[in-house]
Structures are given as C-alpha cells and as structure tokens.
Amino acid sequence: MDLFPEFSTIFAKQAITALTPIQAATVQLLLDGESIVGLARTGTGKTLAYSLPLLKRVEPGKANSLVIFEPTTELAVQVRDAIKDYVAELGLKVIALVGSGNRVRQIEVLKKKHPEVLIVTPGRFFDMVSENRIHHEQIKQLVIDEADDILESTKLELIASLGQNIPSTSQIALFGATESAITRDAEQIFARPFLMIDVRDQDVSQVKHLFLQVDNRHKLEMFTKLTKVDHFSAMIFFNAVKQLEYFAGVLSHTKVSFDALSNATNKQASKGALKRLAKREIKTLLTTDLAARGLDVFDLLYVVNYELPADKNTYVHRAGRTGRMGKKGTVITLGTDHDLRNLKKMLGAEYEIKRVYFSGRELTTDKPAQAEVPQEQEVNGGQNSTAVTGTSHQQEPPAHVNERSKKLERAKRKKRQKKQKNKGYHPLKDKKQKKEAARNEQ
C-alpha cells in the first residue's frame, strides 16, 4: 500500500491492509501509463486495481479525463460509491452517467461542474458524445470494466470506434473475469499494444460448488427447505424475467421473506432490496443475470441457480456474488441428473461440483445411508419363496398418492352407478328393497 500514501486514512477505515493478486500485478503498470488487459476472478478487487492508479494520473480541472464503462446502471452506481472517497481525497469530481438517471440534470453537471471522472453505461455515453457533451480528445484514460459482458449492452463496432477515436496516447484498461472478443483481440480493436495480466490461477477461492438433485415439479418445495438452513442468505438466479415473476408469485404464498430484482426494477428499489439482503432483513433476493451483474452484496453466503446457466461465463458471474475478497461462499445448482452432466461438461475441470444433501438444518456432501431393509426368509426349501417378516415392510405411499387414488376410485364408482341407473337399477332403491324383503321374511 506504499504506492498510495494519500489514501492511508481511507484504507484504515475500510480495513484494507494489502493488495490482492490482481491489484499487485496491475497497479504499477497502470501508474506507468501502460494499456493492459486484466483478468481475475469476480470479487477479487478489480475495481480498486484500476481506479486507484488511474485516479492518481488524472489532472484536476481536466473534464472527462477518466471514463469508466460499466454494463449496467446498478454496477455503475456501485462503482461510483466504491471510489467516491478516493476521488474526493484527490480533489476530483465524479458523476455516474446512466440511462435511468435524469438526463437534464446530468447535462447540467457536465456543463457546470466539469467532472474529471465519468462512470458510464454505453447507451448514455454515446448519447452524450453524439450531442458533443463529451469529446473524444478529452479522454486520457478509458476503462472497460466487465469487458466480457459489455457486448451484451453495446455493439463491438461502437467500442472499437471509441478506442480508435480517442488520442493514440490515451491509456486503455480492460478488466474482466473471463476472456471475450474484446480482451482476445484488444490490440486490433483499439489499435495500440496491450499487456496481458491473468491472475485467475492465483486467486484462492473459498467457494464451494454444489448440486442439489430435484425435478422441476418439486423445486419450490426444495428451495423452501433450503431457506431453513442455518444462516441462509442467498441470491437465486433465473434465466428469464417471466420465470422469476412466476416463482415470486408462488413464493409469496409461503413464509419465505424475499425481494425481486429485474431489469424493470428502478434504481431506488434495487438499492433498497440489496440493503435489506445485506442486513438479513430478507433471506432471498430473486434476480436475473443482467440485473445482478457485478453487484456486491456484503457477506452473501449462498448463490442458488434455480435453472442451469446458459454458459460458463454466466455461471462464473453468478458464482462471483458470493465468496468475495477471499471469504467463504456456496453456489448451489438445482436440477436433475441430466442437468448435472450438462453442468460438468460446461464447466470442465476448473470447478469441482459435488452433490449435496440435507442433514437436519444443515447441508452435507456425505450421502445419507440407505435405510436397512429386512432380509426375506425362504420357506418350502427355497421353492415358491415367501417373505416371512411378521409385519409388512412395504413403504407406505405418500399422502398425495393415497388421496389421488381415493379420488379416482370415487370417480369410477359414480360412473358405475350412473351406468347401472340407466339400466333401471338404482343403488339406493335396491338397498331399501332388500331391507323390506328381509323384514317380510321375519
């Protein structure tokens, strides 16, 4: 931390005592003005890895000098909040330019306060550039955070055009958790040399990756059981908003406390939901991948994949919501045997997926012992073998199966009686006639 004596008070306040691997590998290079590609697992301190050295290179009073791209509004606001103390310590100004923000107010801030640091989402940034609110030549440092996901919100051609239109002396930093088209072809896209820094193998993860077998029909029941595990606090991921909304509707009829976060959720509601989860006021936050991309929830213990992620990159980012900065965490994926095979194939040897089982209010990877079934005894010298156990050891069918059988039997009986009635037979009349005949005989 000797490279940043001006931030010592903030480090002490935030209990930061040492650099993480990605910070140690990139800080000096960025201070020296190098353009780099930095790859590290999620939750390992990438935000400070690029922001601390680049903030030191910003000249006060030079508007729009440092531009940081984020794929979502939530992540842009989160990064702004994470670096604002460091910005203030250097006498700089920062603004988050996001699509859900007040556009008129943002323009006023750009015009009157001339902030040196801009944290932007692609749509709003290119909107401001097209209106000449921001000029390419002003940008001295450009960061594309979550570079492996930025193409979900903007086209590669736009990013390439930006990189080639800013001054050739400008510094560019690309950071992500996985490789992508941007990080692989950075030199061709941005027309300048890059240094590749990959510390993913150096990051020691404390996250366990588990699989809980369950079919679609019983997922709600299994998830409700999960929420009763000691100290349960989780983000549960869905592949589509429609599925999330359906599950939220069903879950609302249970006693599980939860909030839902989707693309339609406004900024204030999102912030409130994250705060309630962090304070353990709710046990679960239902979310989609885009809505939760890069979000940092303090000490989140579990991530639950309600459905199998679409690809490895999606799994990596979901898993990155827990076990951040070297802390312990658990990722649980719900699905069938077929899903487990697909998940292992998707992730390869990088992740060890273990089956998990319930043991009271805890989870265990030790498979429960099968109940011992009494051995059958043979009679008649082994011919025509018969089980002689004194009592029947056949497993009683579940209650819902019994009830279904009773309903079917009642329906069959009514159908039979209706058929007999059409032939001139009536069960009640026949019963009365038999009673009268018995009395007459007496």
Q: How much is the pLDDT for 371? A: 43
Domain end, chosen from 198, 217, 244, is at: 198
- Strands 362-364 and 357-359, how do they pair? antiparallel
Owning domain of residue 241 = 207-364
Per the CB < 8 A criterion, the answer to whether 190 and 171 are in contact is: no
Q: What is the CATH number of the domain that holds 307?
A: 3.40.50.300
User: In terms of residues, how long is the chain?
Assistant: 442
One domain for residues 275 and 298: yes
Q: How much is the pLDDT for 384? A: 41
Distance of alpha carbon 124 from the chain centroid: 25
One domain for residues 136 and 279: no
One domain for residues 186 and 231: no
Task: Assess if residue 427 is contained within a domain.
Answer: no
Q: What is the DSSP letter of 45?
A: S
Q: How far apart are the first and last CA of the chain?
A: 109
One domain for residues 113 and 229: no
Placement of tokens 């606001």 in the chain: 77
Least-confidence region, from 91-100, 365-374, 408-417? 365-374
One domain for residues 220 and 349: yes
Each residue's pLDDT tens digit, 42-99: 878 899 999 999 999 999 999 999 999 998 888 898 899 999 999 999 999 999 999 8
- For 377, residues 6+ apart whose C-beta sits below 8 A from its C-beta are 387, 388, 389
What average pLDDT is seen over the chain? 84
Backbone angles phi, psi at 342, to 5 degrees: -65, -40
Task: Assess if residue 128 is contained within a domain.
Answer: yes
One domain for residues 169 and 245: no
Statement: residue 393 has pLDDT above 70 = no
Per the CB < 8 A criterion, the answer to whether 44 and 22 are in contact is: yes
Statement: residue 392 has pLDDT above 50 = no
Give the C-alpha separation, 282 to 298, whole Å: 14
Task: Assess if residue 414 is contained within a domain.
Answer: no
Q: What type of residue is 355?
A: R
Task: Assess if residue 403 is contained within a domain.
Answer: no
- Strands 329-335 and 207-213, how do they pair? parallel
User: What is the per-residue DSSP string for 330-397?
Assistant: EEEEEE-HHHHHHHHHHHGGGS-EEE-EEETTEEESSPPPPPPPPPPPP-GGGTT-----SS--PPPP
Across the range 322-350, mean pLDDT stands at: 89
Task: Assess if residue 399 is contained within a domain.
Answer: no
Q: Which H or E run contains 289?
A: helix 289-292
Each residue's pLDDT tens digit, 287-322: 988 766 667 777 789 999 999 998 888 898 888 888
Task: Characterize 67-92 residue by residue with b for buried, 16 or more Cβ atoms within 10 angstroms of its Cβ, and e for exposed.
Answer: bbbbbbbbbbbbbbeebbebbeeeeb
One domain for residues 70 and 97: yes
One domain for residues 227 and 307: yes
Task: Assess if residue 97 is contained within a domain.
Answer: yes
Q: Which of 162, 186, 164, 185 is nearest to 173 (CA)?
A: 186
| pTM for the structure as a whole | 0.66
Placement of tokens 């059409």 in the chain: 422
Identify each DSSP E strand in 217-326 by its residue range: 234-238, 258-261, 284-288, 302-305
Task: Assess if residue 388 is contained within a domain.
Answer: no
Across the range 246-267, mean pLDDT stands at: 85
One domain for residues 30 and 127: yes
Least-confidence region, from 141-145, 213-217, 408-412, 429-433? 429-433
Give the C-alpha separation, 91 to 117, whole Å: 11
One domain for residues 297 and 184: no
Per the CB < 8 A criterion, the answer to whether 170 and 140 are in contact is: yes
Q: Is 210 helix (H, G, I), strand (E, B) or coil?
A: strand
